[in-house]
Amino acid sequence: MSMKSSIAGKLDTAFAPERLEVINESHLHAGHQPGYDGEGETHLRVRIVSAAFAGMSRVARHRAINDLVKAEFDAGLHALAVEAAAPGEPTRW
């Protein structure tokens, strides 16, 4: 299973989102480190809207998501950009 699919499944189960996107942005980081060609799934972006985030601060939302995907960080995920919102909150996407 890909890292992207694994993260999407975990987020879907934990937060029952009304909107969810997991985007692989690894190719955008090619050349940032010696020898890194942008292949694989090292840099992902999560865009999620869930009622579970209502009343949570931005930091609490990020912590909840990062805690959920600890295994992926341990397996080589380098960066996870998180855009989390509750229903009715404005998003830039």
Which CATH number is 69's domain given?
Answer: 3.30.300.90
pLDDT at position 43: 86
pLDDT at 81 over 80: yes
For the record, the structure tokens of 31 come out as: 């050349």
Read off the pLDDT band of 36 (50, 70, 90).
Answer: very low
Q: What rounded mean pLDDT belongs to the chain?
A: 89
Is residue 93 in some structural domain? no
45 has which bridge partners? 23, 81
Find the mean pLDDT for residues 26-46.
Answer: 66
Q: Which domain holds residue 34?
A: 3-85
- What is the rounded CA–CA span in Å between residue 17 and residue 83? 13
Tell me how many domains the chain contains.
1
Is residue 77 in some structural domain? yes
Rounded to 5 degrees, what are φ and ψ at 84? Answer: -115, 135
Find the mean pLDDT for residues 5-23.
Answer: 97
